[in-house]
Structure 1
Amino acid sequence: MEFVNFVPVLQYSVEELVTQKSKLCDSARVTTSDIINRAALLHDAIDKVKESLLLKTKRFMDSELKKMEFHEGELKTWISSLSSQNDVSNQNVVEVKDESIGKIQNGDRKLSFARLQQLCEIQHISLYFKSGEIVNESFVNSLFGSVQNFSITPPSPIRKNRRDTFPTIGVELKTKFKCKGTTGNIHAIAPISENEAWICCGWGSKEMVLYNLDGEVLVSVTLDIPIDHIVSTRSGNVLVSSYNGNSIWCLDEQLTATKFATLSFVPRGMAVTDSNEIYVCGVERNRRHLIAKFAADGTLLSDITISPHDPHRIGVISEDKLCFSDYSKNNQRQLVIMDSSCKVLHTYNGKNEPNIELENPFYPLGTQVDQYGNIIVADWNNDRVHLLDTSGHFSQFLVKSGCGIERPCSLGLDRDGKLWVGNATGHVHVFSYCNWLT
């Protein structure tokens, strides 16, 4: 191996590093501005609450003082009236200054006594301020917000272009965890580094969560669309497809969501190539099924009709060969390998290969292609993950039934060759897969 051949790759890496330095400075400036704006917003909100509470306090005080002043006046009137009555106690006529009091006194002595009793019952009214949450660092941070960061580390171009050796492939469970707050199926996993992955759990969910290998939540984002699939790009962005609408959305490093592309079809699975082109499979309203290719900026480059095949998830094997999990007519499930001219090169259904025994019909969901063109398929019905070669022929079961994975439905490969498997009960299993440098 001539290491001098890596000079263009190293030069490219220098250019990327310079770009990333600039992007980091830009994001730090934006973050600083957001922090200052958040502080001003909280100050304004607190001032508004303060003024509202002060006004409420004054209104209550004025209202109660008015009642008390009326009560005080009535007491004084009675005192004056009764004092006058005492002064003329030897006379038969009661002299009063207040006509209402006179009516009570001259009418019913029981009513007079009841009213006097009421006047002597003084209601004690007080005001106090009931403070909100205890003001500590934890509370203030939850109210104010926090600075969060994540990094996307694409595989090295040296790794991706090196196919002079072929590693021994075999899986070993490294870790497992359960997604927070839900037991729904995990239908999208997009690793962005060697220990972090975006995950969407629960069909119909609009939330995507960044987990690390320990199952800790690092970042969560809620979009305006129900999420179908997630992939990460070499530029550090994350693309999101939705079955509810004809568009793909892009989440940048600031977690700002913008529309990546407006489509003529409903998108499903996506795959990103080494050159940062994006393949998307989906279906138009007239039931035309297709695979479209987009540039990194969202420009449509081409599309091919693949009907009657009904693609769900897609993988790119090479420049002129694709694979996809197919929900074809008659409710049959299979994996299809197709060239760029729509010619079907091979189909895999779990039965048309020797030495395979499946208890249930093959049901492919999540699909991934490794750097060597091998195809990895999650089999929902059989609690297995299949490994196929570049032609689509069976190689081995990476995950077998009985290993604790129930109905695997999503797959992701990270930069260190670990295989992330999500299942129908919200659990994620992470396996070693292969060492790219062997």
Structure 2
Amino acid sequence: MADPPEPCTDPLTCGLCHKRYNDPRILDCFHSFCCDCIEKHAHASKGTFPCPMCHMEIHIPKTGIKGLHPNYYVRAIQASAVFSTNSKCETCIETEKQAQSRCLECNSNFCKPCVSRHSKDKETRDHHMVELSAPDAKSVTKIAHRSFCEKHHEETVYYCILCEIPICKDCVTKVSDHKGHRYKNIVEGAKEKRNKVKPMIQSMHEYLPCLQDYLHELNSTKKLLGDYAEQTVQEIKARYKYLQEELLKICNALVEGVEEKVKNDFNRIDTHVQTIDKTLRSVSTITKSAEEAINLGSDSEVVLMCQKLQNRFKHADKEIPQVGLTPAVSSNFHVGDLQSSNLQEMFGSCDTTDIKLPMLPIPWGLKIALNFDVQLMYSFKVANVIDTIHAIAPLSEREAWICHGWGTQEMSLYTREGEKLRTVKLDIQIDDIITKPNGDILVSSYDDKKIIKLDGDLKQTDFVKLDLYPGGMTYTKRNELLVCAVDSYVTTRNSRSRRMIMRISEAGKIIDMIEDDGFSAIFTAPYRLHENMLGDIVVSDREEAEVHTTTITLDGFVKNKYVGQKDYRMKKPFNPFGIVSDKQGHVLVADWSNHAIHLLDLSGQFIGFLITENYGIRGPNALALDKEGHLWVGDTKSTVWVFKYARRVENNA
């Protein structure tokens, strides 16, 4: 069977007739088709019809298919595409005037004075006007459109927060359904809605190439499977030729067996390819339509369609297959023994070898975008040279002590805006820093084998001296200090190695050493740690053979290990460094190699990548949460990033 056609990515091409749109209509699922194409598709339907691409049920308006919403965004692109510097106004007496805009309802070009008259006329004031731009322009100018209140016939200049719709000034000043409701300027409301949908669009932009690669790999694997089968058949036929006609029966039986196996796998792969191809085209079109709607739509339209867009992306997530194919089976031919008296043994036989099929990419980005608001608040450099930021200790919601450059004795206090307030030089090399609730600062020194305390005046005293090398620290709700401690810089261990988490009291006394679970050692090279919402300890372990994070109880019981996301094709192996746990129970892990922050739930299951390299982060190392829950990230390029993130709250009003 031939490979399926590449999905159509031309925003001006109908998905049914595969020609340029003629009177495009956008459905509730955000797929668009020519009006005539939809009429042909839904000619026998009553009340509803399935979308030709995603099969979502679409309600037919009372006025019929012609009542479906025109896709003004595509029409705006079409109008811009055919614009010429010779285009003249088609409505005024002075026909030589240069056209400035085009009315998408009237399909006419207007000069600037005519646009003004057109927008004031009661019959045409709500028309969609697109400002014409040169054909080589990178984007279409935003569509100008004024919406009017159906009840008061005034322009909608406000946004009702409770009802989530555009309203006019009379809606809030006179007796109406919105009297007493909270409202805001329509521009602010549209900006808020755009910000909700843009991360979802961006996540799909990031995911679509993965889906395209998967489709390509499926077809490549299918070809490889066919090549192996063809080669096997050729070997079988060559063997048959050697043993002459008496072996024809055996030959045909073996060939039939091989072809049956490959036919079954072909059918299985073809079915999956068709599903993925349809999903790719569907999601690609939804993403493009949503992007056009958000970028080109008026504020009123953005407000109206935002909830639809969010719901649509939730449905898009469900449309995407969550499981790939089980391995296919290829046939291998083995030459039989010429000395054998049994013809079957003399001819040979077939066995099978598994061929690994490509891994189905999962749209984790969309899951995060649907469920979390993530905002980069600030980013700033702490040095002009490339250094690793290995310790961040928030002092308040606006300030944090930061240490960069391995082996340094200095740490500096920065505001989250990047202003350096002061620098302190200690007489030890700094590994990690934490701040206690009372304002004291604890600093671990790997080389000096001790932890020091700085009081509010930054007066230095020894807190505890150790026989091992201390590293990452965290302060618990039990007012205890937990410290990663090892007996060697080497990240492999032997039978005599000491690798542990130390429990240290408020007075600087060692309470316990969590080293094994009663039977075997737990850690190899513990680096950073944090207490989660349940009081368990999550540790990043830098074992060379298998880096991972480990969640343990205080009595040494290992609850889970996380070795990276196996269902997502990461560019490089999982490489955890910094680790924190927030008040909602999420565990955040800095993945240095993949320039990402993994988000895990309390059970250690992967939720998604909260932050990726698209923000510009390179090699995230240090992680910290300030008192307001903002995430501070320090990377290997001397840069600190401050993010605000929160789980989305659905508005059911």
TM over 0.5: yes
- Partner SS, residue 359 of structure 1: coil
CA distance in 2, matches of 1:192, 1:435: 25
3-state SS of 2:584 partner: coil
| 2:518 is equivalent to residue 303 of structure 1 | no
Asked if 1:281 is matched to 2:484, the reply is: yes
- 1:133-144 equivalences under 5 Å are none
Deviation by residue 1:205-232 (Cα, 9 ceiling, x = unmatched):
1100000012111111111111111111
Distance 1:348 1:170, change over 3 A: farther
Q: Secondary structure of the equivalent of 2:621?
A: strand
Letter in 2 for 1:425: K
Q: Secondary structure at the match of 2:532?
A: strand
Alpha-carbon distance in structure 2 between the residues aligned to 1:279 and 1:395: 27
Q: What residue number does 1:253 align with?
A: 456
Residue of structure 1 equivalent to 2:547: 333
Alpha-carbon separation, structure 2, partners of 1:351 and 1:398: 13
Describe the shift of the 1:169–1:233 C-alpha distance in structure 2 as closer, same or farther (beyond 3 A).
Answer: farther
In the alignment, which residue of structure 2 is the partner of 1:348? 562
Q: How far, CA to CA, are the matches of 1:426 and 1:202 in structure 2? A: 9
- The aligned runs of 1:68-217 (5 Å cut-off) are 169-217=372-420
Indicate the residue corresponding to 1:433 in structure 2: 645
Q: Which residue of 2 aligns with 1:225?
A: 428
Paired residues of 2:374 and 2:643 also in contact (CA < 8 A): yes
Q: Determine if contact 2:504/2:511 at 8 Å carries over to the other structure.
A: yes
Quote the residue 2:164 is aligned against. none
TM-score (norm 1): 0.58
CA distance in 2, matches of 1:297, 1:181: 40
Q: 1:176-225 CA distances to partner (integer Å, 9 max, x unpaired)?
A: 10003542100000111011000001111110000001211111111111
Query: Using the alignment, how far apart are the partners of 1:196 and 1:386 within structure 2?
Result: 25
Per the TM alignment, residue 372 of structure 1 is displaced from its structure 2 partner at its CA by 2.8
Task: Show the counterpart of 1:236.
Answer: 439
Describe how 1:29-40 pairs up with structure 2 within 5 A.
Answer: none
Amino acid at match of 2:507: D
2:396 maps to 1:396: no
- Tell me the residue number matched to 2:581: 369
Structure 1 residue 373: Cα displacement: 2.7
Aligned to 1:72: none
Q: Is the 8 A contact 1:185 1:426 kept in 2?
A: yes
Offset at residue 296 of structure 1 (A): 2.0
- Report the alpha carbon displacement of residue 437 of structure 1 after superposing the two structures with TM: 12
Contact 2:472 2:528 in 1 (8 A): yes
Q: 1:246 to 1:173 in 2, by over 3 A?
A: same
Q: Distance in 1 between matches of 2:626 and 2:642?
A: 10
**Which consecutive residues of structure 2, in runs of 5 or more, have no partner in the other structure?**
1-370, 489-495
Q: 2:83 aligns to what? A: none
Task: Go from structure 1 to structure 2 and tell me whether the alpha carbon gap of 1:387 and 1:351 turns closer, same or farther (over 3 Å shift).
Answer: closer
| Cα distance change on mapping 1:363 and 1:237 into 2, 3 Å | same
Counterparts of 2:481 and 2:633 in 1: how far apart (Å)? Answer: 22
Asked if the contact 1:313–1:325 (Cα under 8 Å) also holds between the matched residues in 2, the reply is yes
Whether the aligned pair in 2 keeps the contact of 1:270 and 1:313 (CA below 8 Å) is yes
Read off the aligned partner of 2:512 and give its amino acid letter: S
Could you tell me how far apart the structure 1 residues matched to 2:557 and 2:601 are? Answer: 18
> Shift of the alpha carbon at 1:298?
1.4
> Matches of 1:171 and 1:318 in 2, distance apart?
21
The AA in structure 2 aligned to 1:344 is V
Quote the offset at 1:351 in angstroms: 3.4
Q: Aligned partners of 1:329 and 1:177: how far apart in 2?
A: 32
1:265 maps onto 2:468 in alignment? yes
Aligned partner of residue 434 in structure 1, secondary structure: strand
The one-letter amino acid paired with 1:336 is: T
Which residue does 1:91 correspond to in 2? none
Residues 16-27 of structure 1 correspond to what in structure 2 (within 5 A)?
Answer: none
C-alpha displacement at 1:413, in angstroms?
Answer: 0.4
Task: For 1:238, give the aligned amino acid.
Answer: I
Q: Give the C-alpha shift of residue 320 in structure 1.
A: 5.0
Question: 1:99-137, CA deviations, whole angstroms, 9 ceiling, x for partnerless residues?
Answer: xxxxxxxxxxxxxxxxxxxxxxxxxxxxxxxxxxxxxxx
In structure 2, what is the equivalent of residue 290 of structure 1? Answer: 500
- The structural deviation recorded for 1:302 is 1.5
Q: 1:358 aligns with which of 558, 563, 570?
A: 570
Tell me the CA shift for residue 350 of structure 1: 1.2
SS in 1 for 2:463: strand
Q: 1:324 aligns with which of 539, 546, 564?
A: 539
For residue 402 of structure 1, give the secondary structure of its aligned residue in structure 2.
Answer: helix
1:424 corresponds in structure 2 to 636
Equivalent position amino acid for 1:420 in 2: W
Checking the alignment, whether the CA contact within 8 Å between 1:369 and 1:375 is kept in structure 2 is yes
Which residue of structure 1 lines up, in the alignment, with residue 593 of structure 2? 381
Secondary structure, counterpart of 2:386 in structure 1: coil
SS at match of 1:171: strand
Question: How many matched pairs?
Answer: 268
Distance of 1:435 and 1:344 partners within structure 2: 28
**Matched letter for residue 454 of structure 2:** L
* CA–CA distance in structure 1, aligned partners of residues 462 and 483 of structure 2: 15
For residue 408 of structure 1, give the secondary structure of its aligned residue in structure 2: coil
> Which blocks of at least 5 consecutive residues in structure 1 are unaligned?
1-167
With structure 2 as the length reference, what TM-score do the two structures score?
A: 0.39
- Compute the displacement of 1:301 (Å): 1.7
Identity of aligned residues (%): 38
Counterpart amino acid of residue 187 in structure 1: H
Higher relative contact order (CA 8 A, sep 6+): 1
Contact persistence 2:533–2:582 (CA under 8 A): no
* Distance in structure 2 (CA, Å) of the matches to 1:273 and 1:405: 29
| Distance change (3 Å), C-alpha of 1:359 and 1:215 | same
Q: Secondary structure at the match of 1:193?
A: coil
The residue that corresponds to 2:529 in the other structure is 314
Secondary structure of 1:425's aligned partner: coil
Aligned-partner Cα distance in 2 for 1:273–1:317:
9
Q: Could you tell me how far 1:374 is from its partner in structure 2?
A: 1.6
- Paired letter, 1:295: S
8 Å CA contact retained: 1:233, 1:239? yes
Instruction: Quote the Cα distance in structure 1 between the aligned partners of 2:424 and 2:647.
Output: 32
Indicate if the aligned counterparts of 1:412 and 1:421 stay in contact, CA closer than 8 A: yes
